[in-house]
Amino acid sequence: MPDASQPLDRRRLLRRGGVVIAGAAGVLALPDPASAAEGDPVLAGRTTDAGPAPTTLSGGGAGAPTLEVANPATTGTYAAPALRLAPSGSDGLDPASVGAGDLASSGDLLWYGHAPAAAGAGVVGAVYTSAFANHLQFLDAPRRVLDTRSGGTTDEGGNPNDRRTRVVAGQFDSAGRLLGGTSLVLDLAELTLSGVGVFANLTVVGPAGSGFLTAYPTPDGAARTDGLDRPAASSLNFVRGVPALANFAVVRLGGGGRISIYSTALAHVLLDLTAVSVAEPFRT
């Protein structure tokens, strides 16, 4: 700070102002670096390396967000996003060791909550989702993949008949009906390359007695037709005298993309596939 006893003349003021202007001009003339160094402030238009330390943003208020990101330069349905989160690390996130909202290398996202400190720290609930979670691949039209009434290698239109050829095991009478107390095994692997489950309409036709059908994932190992590997549940209940009865079923695919269908009574069985739940939709 200048001595108050020394007078300030116009020449000294101009000289001092010129230094400030020259300094500002010098700053503006510097070329932009490719990125900001570790520990530098976050600069718009530049890449910043925060290093091993976490980056925390504080601010906002009751009526304003802490961070608001906008990208007005693009428009349209498929415009570039205002914010992009890049995954890092490896798959198989462990809720006990990572933070909520972490991204795996595949893009999978994990959210979870902790118990209050008084109750003891620990994960009390977790939701793990991914780009392919609960992904349904709908068929262009429902497809009949099983009809025990069909016979031969071609259908009525002369096309290859796959309504019985997908059956890899089963016990049937001379008319093609599934014997009561037995299961048939249906191979759907060719239709569900990355499938984990199927959505289908299950139909019983002309049952010889009252009973039920059970559709279930075929266990790994040799296919069984005695029905002893079935769960204690029913997918469709029917009574004798009703010509046909249908019900919608969701069935997990078993080993090799197979499902089994059990019937308590002699009957024809039909299955119409409408959608597949897939783990990797790009393979369907």
Provide the CATH number for the domain around residue 195.
Answer: 2.60.120
Query: Of 246, 146, 229, 150, nearest to 182 (Cα)?
Result: 229
Domain presence at residue 215: yes
Q: What pLDDT, on a 0 to 100 scale, did the predictor assign at position 29?
A: 42
Domain presence at residue 22: no
Query: Of 181, 192, 175, nearest to 255 (Cα)?
Result: 192
Q: What pLDDT, on a 0 to 100 scale, did the predictor assign at position 124?
A: 47
Domain presence at residue 238: yes
Q: What pLDDT, on a 0 to 100 scale, did the predictor assign at position 97?
A: 54
Which of 113, 131, 149 terminates a domain? The answer is 131
Domain presence at residue 20: no
Whether residues 211 and 146 fall in one domain: yes
63: phi then psi, degrees, rounded to nearest 5: -115, 10
Question: HSE of 47 in the Cβ direction (CA atoms, 13 Å)?
Answer: 4
Domain housing 141? 135-283
Q: What pLDDT, on a 0 to 100 scale, did the predictor assign at position 151?
A: 64
Whether residues 242 and 264 fall in one domain: yes
Whether residues 127 and 143 fall in one domain: no
Average confidence (pLDDT) per 10 residues, the chain, 284 residues: 51 43 40 53 74 78 81 66 64 50 51 51 51 69 87 55 78 91 92 84 96 94 85 95 95 91 96 85 50
Q: What pLDDT, on a 0 to 100 scale, did the predictor assign at position 94?
A: 53
Q: Is the pTM of this model over 0.75?
A: no
